[in-house]
């Protein structure tokens, strides 16, 4: 069960690492999001966003292998993907590149929810098994 949880968190981590290439500049950000980022302030903010997603991605992968960090990873991943999906869906009219991000975040959401369910099931199963003395 733990191997599946690890794999699911690694998938979530990789999805969050994908925007990291945006730190390299406006051209990479344009490729990722289908936007023209000629205004330097927006470019700065988006490049910083890429760094933050890189940190999230690295943490999710790390937590996949360190069970004690998994609850925090679950909460952080849920906040990340649900907030993005809520903003995207409430705003609407996004381009094809942003639609790819929406799809990736839906995959991440499914992975996180499955990991939470498996983790909860694993805890309940271990709680109900007879203890060895």
Confidence of residue 128 (pLDDT cuts 50, 70, 90): low
Q: C-alpha distances in angstroms, 17 versus 34, 39, 65?
A: 18, 24, 17
User: Which sign does the torsion angle of CA 89, 92, 93, 97 carry?
Assistant: negative
User: Is the pLDDT assigned to residue 19 strictly greater than 80?
Assistant: yes
User: Is the pLDDT assigned to residue 130 strictly greater than 70?
Assistant: no
What is the per-residue pLDDT across 60-113, written as a single tens digit (0 to 9) for each? 999 999 999 999 999 999 999 999 999 999 999 999 999 999 999 999 999 999
Q: Give the start-end residues of each E strand in the chain.
A: none
As a whole number of angstroms, the distance between CA 74 and CA 67 comes to 11
pLDDT number for residue 36: 84
């Amino acid at each position: 069960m733990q191997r599946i949880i690890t794999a699911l968190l690694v998938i979530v981590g990789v999805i969050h690492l994908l925007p990291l290439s945006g730190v390299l500049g406006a051209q990479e950000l344009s490729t990722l999001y289908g936007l023209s980022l000629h205004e330097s302030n927006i470019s700065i903010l988006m490049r910083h966003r890429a760094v933050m997603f890189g940190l999230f991605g690295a943490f999710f992968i790390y937590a996949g292998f360190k069970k004690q960090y998994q609850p925090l990873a679950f909460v952080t991943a849920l906040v990340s993907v649900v907030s993005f999906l809520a903003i995207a869906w409430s705003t609407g009219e996004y381009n094809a590149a942003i639609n790819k991000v929406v799809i990736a975040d839906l995959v991440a959401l499914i992975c996180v929810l499955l990991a939470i369910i498996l983790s909860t099931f694993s805890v309940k199963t271990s709680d109900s098994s007879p203890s060895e003395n």
